[in-house]
Amino acid sequence: MTLSGSKGGAVAAGDRHTVATARTILDEGGNAFDAALAGLFAACIAEPVLCSLGGGGFLLGQTAEGKATLYDFFCQAPQLRLPADDLEFMPVHVDFGASRQEFHIGMGAMAVPGLVAGAFAIHSDLCTMPMTRLVEPAANLARQGIAIAPLQSFILDAVAPIFQWSAESRALYNSPAEPEKTLRPGETLALPALADLLDGLAHEGADLFYRGEIAQAIAAINRKHGGAIGLSDLAQYEVVRRVPLTRRFRGCEILGNPAPSSGGSLLAFSLGLLEHMDLRAGPDLLADLEILAQAMDLTDLAREASGLNDGCDDTRVGALLSEPFMADYRSQMPGRAGKIGGTTHISVVDAEGNAAALTVSNGEGCGHILGPGSIMLNNMLGEEDLNPNGFFQWQPNSRITSMMSPTLVRWNDGRVLALGSGGSNRIRSALLQVLVNHLCLDHSLDRSVAAPRVHMEQGLLHIEAGHGLATVSHLAKAFPRNQIWPDQNFFFGGVHGVAFDPNSGTFSAAGDPRRGGSVG
């Protein structure tokens, strides 16, 4: 799925409707940020589990002048931490096929959403087209309905215990032909109430969501069903503009998501471990895969040792990436002495050099639908990956940490690559492998994204299909705690990337087939 020579820009994302919407805006003369926002709104319909106005995310953007900013509009913990017995909070299990994962839902799992605020902040700072035009394609999709894609149907089926939990959700997402199941591939998903809300937001602004009718509805559903979010939580929500985390690697500058999110810092740590390793022979050689698995394992250990499990801040990130700390872990590398996750990503680069890496998440949803707008609300406080020290330990009125890692790669000659991934704790390992394939092994972006992956976490090596029997056998012997997957799977993330070379005027884009990747 490589796209070369596209006029005006290029897009990579997780659904063809998302890509087509962003592409339309580029063709009308919008910049990368216009296209990314239009794609984001379209993804709320086309990728309904992965993207919702009730969630949050990050945009790492570079302007044509080279200025880079990280927009943090992730979810916020409520101002008050209520007693656990007063909260609606319950476990559900999601089946990936070869793996099961436990999540928690109910209003007690909901955090303050930031996506709408983020969209308006990005629009104010970076966009050139009116918001009414950017929401129009998504509103049309929501009113007319779309045929649900096979991947989105699979995801809905996997999270059926959540999307069938309330009568309101069942009314929207259950199959008309098989009412006991969620929407089957090709069946129509229409969300006319969401279309009306998008129109309202475009005309009234973010205050509709954070101080107006939608805020009133969010506070009311929290009061009714055992949640902790009130009107003041919504009114005081703020988008934070941050300086990106920057690291040099193999002659490139890699920009990532800084504290308080930990994904970018952990990715930078893994790259630091690999900086001087000999990774030139090929992605299928056993030594390369062992090195990658070891880097993932050491990064996992360093996350705990550096205190990132207790919260990610500049001090802890500085300690994690300090040379003395990193050298200790680097010395343990080979050859040296001594969740299904509800996340999606959109990458856009335009011909002026504007680049947008936009990653958003709704968790898996808390099970409750907000009546005005048919919005599935998030369950960020019920995500084990985001609460490594246990539930109900979060700090009131604080930004929740995240594994999301929108990333930009910049070369001295002006080339730029925007990429990111969904996949919870697998985000950093998916991005790491794509970057190694592309930057160290000189593989095309498309080949780098499509190559089979491994993922190491808590001493367990997950081995994706496609490596070959000899490789799988060797890895299974080297890492006795392993899980061999029978296919290339959604579990291993979904990296969507776009690159632009201003010297030749060409674009390349790759969408990850594991997550419905599409380019345009």
User: CA nearest 509: which of 137, 21, 23?
Assistant: 23
DSSP 242: E
pLDDT attached to residue 346: 98
Give the number of other Cβ atoms within 10 Å of residue 198's Cβ: 28
Give the number of other Cβ atoms within 10 Å of residue 458's Cβ: 10
User: CA nearest 243: which of 55, 33, 61?
Assistant: 61
Report pLDDT digits (tens) over 480-499: 999 999 999 888 999 999 99
499 close to 416: Cβ distance less than 8 angstroms: yes
pLDDT attached to residue 284: 45
pLDDT attached to residue 293: 87
pLDDT attached to residue 285: 53
pLDDT attached to residue 97: 59
pLDDT attached to residue 338: 28
Does the CA dihedral 7-129-408-342 come out positive or negative?
A: negative
pLDDT attached to residue 287: 64
- pLDDT lower than 50: segments of the chain: 1, 4-5, 281-284, 335-339
pLDDT attached to residue 286: 55
Q: Is 493 helix (H, G, I), strand (E, B) or coil?
A: coil
Alpha-helical (H) ranges within 69-173 are 115-126, 131-144, 150-158, 160-163, 167-173
Q: Which of 24, 343, 344, 407 is catalytic?
A: 343
State yes or no: is 471 an active-site residue.
Answer: no
* CA distance readout (Å), 137 to 17, 35, 133, 477: 10, 11, 8, 52
